[in-house]
Amino acid sequence: MAYLEFCSNCGNKNDRGWIEGNIRFHCNYCNIIHYENPKPTATLICPIKNSILLVKRAFDPGKGLWGLPGGFIELNESPQDAAKRELFEETGLKGEFKRFIHFTYHFGTIFGDILLLGLEMKIKNEPLRPGDDASDAQFFELNNLPYIAFESHIKIINKYKELTT
Ligand SMILES: [Zn+2]
């Protein structure tokens, strides 16, 4: 069953078409539009001196490639709390939110549209313990990064470089 194929209010089949300036799911029985929104992520810059932390992705999209640590913000969770949770789950590190770096977005991924909040975390140089969605975690010199899985992550890294140089 496709997401929003049926009305969550009455259970009848939704229509999908152009309405109020966008393509939307719409229930003709309840006469309501089922609005959809991008999913926000906390995407993390974790610097130690001139290096940043990257994780090797254990799952698609980008399986086997390096990217910034992070993940989707959950309900009842601030971006800062999501950042701490994802950092710990993926690398075993505890960190504190330092500052907002940059936002980027990405349409039509396997998760739908995504809004990425690039957040800088203050961390200590402690042993890494890759886990959860990460098969490896390492620090890389900012001027010698490996291939990065996502253009949106590269934009956040570039903004961070701008702010620090
Ligand atoms: Zn309905």
Ligand 1 center to 115 CA (angstroms): 28
CB 67 within 8 A of CB 57: yes
Domain 1-36 belongs in CATH node 2.20.70: yes
- pTM for the full predicted model: 0.89
Ligand 1 center to 37 CA (angstroms): 19
Ligand 1 center to 22 CA (angstroms): 19
Ligand 1 center to 108 CA (angstroms): 26
Report the distance separating Cα 85 and Cα 81, nearest Å.
Answer: 6
Q: 16 is written with which tokens?
A: 């999908």
pLDDT score of 69: 96
Domain map of the chain by residue range? 1-36, 39-164
Question: What CATH number was assigned to the domain covering residues 39-164?
Answer: 3.90.79.10
pLDDT of the chain, 165 residues: tens digit per residue: 567 899 999 999 999 999 989 999 999 999 999 999 999 999 999 999 999 999 998 888 889 999 999 999 999 999 999 999 999 999 999 999 999 999 999 998 888 899 999 999 999 888 888 887 878 999 999 999 999 999 999 999 999 999 997
